[in-house]
Amino acid sequence: MSIRFDKLGVAIAAITCYGAFVAPFATFRANRIVAGEPRSIIEALPQPLGLVLLAILVAAGLVALFKTPLGARLGGSVVALASLALLIGLAGSHLTPEGNTFARISPASGFWFLIFSFTLLLADVLTRLELSPVGRVVVLVAAAVAIWLLLASGQWDSLSILKEYANRADSFWNEAKRHVQLALGSLVAATIVGLPLGILCHRVEVLRDGVLNVLNIIQTIPSIALFGIMIAPLGWVAANIPGASALGIRGIGAAPAFVALFLYSLLPVVANTVVGLAGVPRAANDAARGMGMTGWQRLTNVEFPLAFPVILTGIRIVLVQNIGLATIAALIGGGGFGVFVFQGVGQTAMDLVLLGAVPTVALAFAAAIILDAVVEYLATRKSAEVALA
Distance CA 79, CA 21 (A): 19
Distance CA 121, CA 127 (A): 10
232 lines the binding site for another protein (CB under 8 A) = yes
**CB neighbour list of residue 120: distance below 8 Å, 6 or more residues apart:** 8, 11, 12, 15
221 lines the binding site for another protein (CB under 8 A) = yes
Q: How many beta carbons lie within 10 A of that of residue 254, not counting itself?
A: 20
Among residues 13, 249, 254, 325, the one that binds another protein under rule CB under 8 A: 325
Residue 301 CB, nearest approach to another protein (Å): 34
Of 184, 137, 194, nearest to 311 by C-alpha is 194
Looking at the Cβ atoms of 24 and 338, the one nearer to another protein is 338
7 lines the binding site for another protein (CB under 8 A) = yes
Looking at the Cβ atoms of 111 and 303, the one nearer to another protein is 111
Residue 217 CB, nearest approach to another protein (Å): 7
69 lines the binding site for another protein (CB under 8 A) = no
Residue 379 CB, nearest approach to another protein (Å): 17
117 lines the binding site for another protein (CB under 8 A) = no
Counting residues that bind another protein (by CB under 8 A) gives: 46
240 lines the binding site for another protein (CB under 8 A) = no
Among residues 368, 374, 378, 379, the one that binds another protein under rule CB under 8 A: 368
Distance CA 67, CA 96 (A): 41
Looking at the Cβ atoms of 128 and 289, the one nearer to another protein is 128
Looking at the Cβ atoms of 90 and 108, the one nearer to another protein is 108
105 lines the binding site for another protein (CB under 8 A) = no
Residue 257 CB, nearest approach to another protein (Å): 12
Among residues 90, 226, 257, 307, the one that binds another protein under rule CB under 8 A: 226
222 lines the binding site for another protein (CB under 8 A) = yes
357 lines the binding site for another protein (CB under 8 A) = yes
Among residues 76, 197, 327, 335, the one that binds another protein under rule CB under 8 A: 327
184 lines the binding site for another protein (CB under 8 A) = no
328 lines the binding site for another protein (CB under 8 A) = yes
Looking at the Cβ atoms of 311 and 357, the one nearer to another protein is 357
75 lines the binding site for another protein (CB under 8 A) = no
Q: In the 3-class helix/strand/coil scheme, how is the chain assigned residue by residue?
A: CCCCECHHHHHHHHHHHHHHHHCCCEEEECCCCCCCEEECHHHHCCCCHHHHHHHHHHHHHHHHHECCCHHHHHHHHHHHHHHHHHHHHHHHHHHCCCCCCCCEEEECHHHHHHHHHHHHHHHHHHHHHCCCHHHHHHHHHHHHHHHHHHHHHCCCCCEHHHHHHHHCHHHHHHHHHHHHHHHHHHHHHHHHHHHHHHHHHHHCHHHHHHHHHHHHHHHHCCHHHHHHHCHHHHHHHHHHCCCCHHHCCCCCCHHHHHHHHHHHHHHHHHHHHHHHHHCCCHHHHHHHHHCCCCHHHHHHHHHHHHHHHHHHHHHHHHHHHHHHHHHHHHHHCCCCCHHHHHHHHHHCCHHHHHHHHHHHHHHHHHHHHHHHHHHHHHHHHHHHHHHHC
Query: Is-cis flag, bond preceding 309, omega within 30?
Result: no
360 lines the binding site for another protein (CB under 8 A) = yes
Among residues 22, 217, 278, 386, the one that binds another protein under rule CB under 8 A: 217
Looking at the Cβ atoms of 17 and 370, the one nearer to another protein is 370
Q: Which residues inside 121-180 make contact with another protein, applying CB under 8 A?
A: 123-124, 127-128
110 lines the binding site for another protein (CB under 8 A) = no
364 lines the binding site for another protein (CB under 8 A) = yes
Q: Residues interacting with another protein, by CB under 8 A?
A: 7-8, 109, 120, 123-124, 127-128, 217, 219-229, 231-232, 320, 323-325, 327-328, 331-332, 338, 341-342, 344-345, 350, 353-354, 356-357, 360-361, 364-365, 367-368
